[in-house]
């Protein structure tokens, strides 16, 4: 999944370079990344060696422009979504070849993730199928504001938030949308954060235990959409909540 994400990330990077080299204003593309990246398109990653070369060049550039702390945060995000780990797989070049010869969009990435990644059942983790997310997203009625904030306190990989964002962007193209997501699993929240920042710059994700702390204190949300992890609560979580309630 990290490679599917990186393919879209690299496609965006190439688009920015192409547009800038032609003298265009890159910021004019900000409102169009969702449409651009959600098109079915082929990718040209070629090999794990080339991906590592791309990453090394980007890390050097970011360190020069923004400093070591910024670069370390990006590296941590890539680590959390499993990019470095998967690049070490001995069969990874075969999978890269499969990606390069296939066409997929953002919907596909979310959908594939929910089907091929095994959630942590110990934590009562479940992924909501993308078609169900699309159905749930339609339940919220007419929007009568110029801006709206959407929150999922147990967002997982962010597929419910993505479905709602997509539905609002389609029906209200000029609507100012803020996305807020939280999940206590850093791998999930990092993947959601990485995916959303491909196409939307007002997306904020936290990695907290929502049972015992507020992920976005003081922020009032307009829409809350969630499929909470219904199930048996762990003894440690029970004790934390009991202490909090008292």
Q: What is the pLDDT of residues 67-78, one digit of tens each?
A: 999 999 889 989
- Residues 133-147 have a mean pLDDT of 83
Domain ranges of the chain: 2-100, 119-229+241-245
- Please, which pLDDT band fits residue 193 given cuts at 50, 70 and 90? very high
15-40 confidence digits (pLDDT tens): 888 887 877 776 777 778 888 888 88
Token reading at 115: 């089907």
In this predicted structure, the answer to whether residue 171 has a pLDDT above a threshold of 70 is: yes
Q: Is the pLDDT of residue 149 over 90?
A: yes
Mean pLDDT of 151-163: 93
| Band (121; pLDDT cuts 50, 70, 90) | low
Q: How confident is the model at residue 227 (pLDDT cuts 50, 70, 90)?
A: confident
Which residues are CB-neighbours of 152 under 8 A, at least 6 positions away? 158, 160, 161, 180, 181, 182, 224, 225, 226
Q: Which of 132, 135, 166 is nearest to 150 (CA)?
A: 166
Could you confirm whether domain 119-229+241-245 is CATH 2.40.10.480? no
User: Which residue do the tokens 């110990």 mark?
Assistant: 122
Contact 81, 194 (CB under 8 A): yes
Q: Identify the band that residue 151 occupies on the pLDDT scale cut at 50, 70 and 90.
A: very high
Residue 171 CB partners (closer than 8 Å, separation 6+) = 143
113 versus 164: the higher-pLDDT residue is: 164
Note the pLDDT of residue 54.
Answer: 94
% the chain with pLDDT above 70: 89
**Cα 160 from Cα 63, distance rounded (Å):** 34
User: Strand order in 223-224's β-sheet?
Assistant: 203-206, 176-182, 147-152, 223-224
Mind giving me the DSSP string for 143-155? --SSEEEEEETT-
pLDDT of residue 192 exceeding 60, the answer is: yes
In tens, the pLDDT along 48-65 reads: 999 999 999 999 999 999
pLDDT number for residue 245:
56
Whether pLDDT at 209 is above 90: no
Q: Are 137 and 163 in contact (CB under 8 A)?
A: yes
Please determine, for residue 246, whether its predicted confidence score (pLDDT) is greater than 60: no
Q: Model-level pTM?
A: 0.83
Output 96-104 pairs: Cβ under 8 A, ≥24 positions apart.
96/3, 96/45, 96/46, 96/47, 96/48, 96/51, 99/3, 99/4, 99/7, 99/43, 99/45, 100/42, 100/43, 100/44, 100/45, 100/46, 101/42, 102/42, 103/40, 103/41, 103/42, 104/4, 104/40
Neighbours of 68 (CB within 10 A): 10
Q: What residue spans of the chain are helical by DSSP H? A: 2-21, 33-37, 48-66, 68-80, 83-87, 92-100, 106-116, 130-137, 159-171, 186-196, 235-245
- Nearby residues of 135 by Cβ (< 8 Å), 6 or more positions away: none
């Amino acid at each position: 999944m990290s490679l599917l994400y990186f393919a879209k990330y690299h496609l965006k990077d190439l688009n920015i370079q192409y547009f800038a080299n032609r003298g265009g204003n890159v910021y004019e593309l900000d409102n169009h990344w969702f449409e651009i990246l959600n098109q079915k398109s082929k990718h040209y990653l070629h090999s794990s060696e080339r991906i590592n070369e791309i990453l090394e060049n980007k890390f050097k550039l970011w360190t020069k422009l923004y400093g070591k702390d910024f670069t370390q945060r990006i590296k941590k995000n890539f680590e959390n979504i499993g990019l470095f780990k998967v690049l070490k797989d001995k069969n990874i070049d075969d999978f890269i070849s499969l990606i390069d010869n296939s066409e997929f969009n953002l919907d596909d990435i979310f959908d594939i993730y929910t089907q091929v990644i095994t959630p942590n059942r110990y934590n009562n983790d479940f992924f909501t199928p993308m078609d169900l997310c699309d159905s749930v997203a339609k339940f919220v009625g007419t929007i009568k504001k110029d801006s709206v904030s959407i929150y999922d306190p147990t967002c997982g990989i962010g597929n419910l938030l993505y479905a709602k964002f997509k539905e609002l962007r389609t029906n209200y193209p000029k609507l100012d949308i803020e996305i807020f997501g939280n999940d206590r699993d850093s791998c999930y929240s990092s993947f959601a954060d990485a995916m959303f920042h491909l196409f939307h710059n007002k997306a904020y994700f936290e990695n907290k235990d929502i049972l015992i702390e507020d992920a976005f204190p003081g922020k009032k949300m307009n829409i809350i959409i969630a499929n909470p992890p219904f199930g048996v609560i762990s003894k440690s979580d029970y004790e934390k909540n009991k202490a909090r309630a008292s």
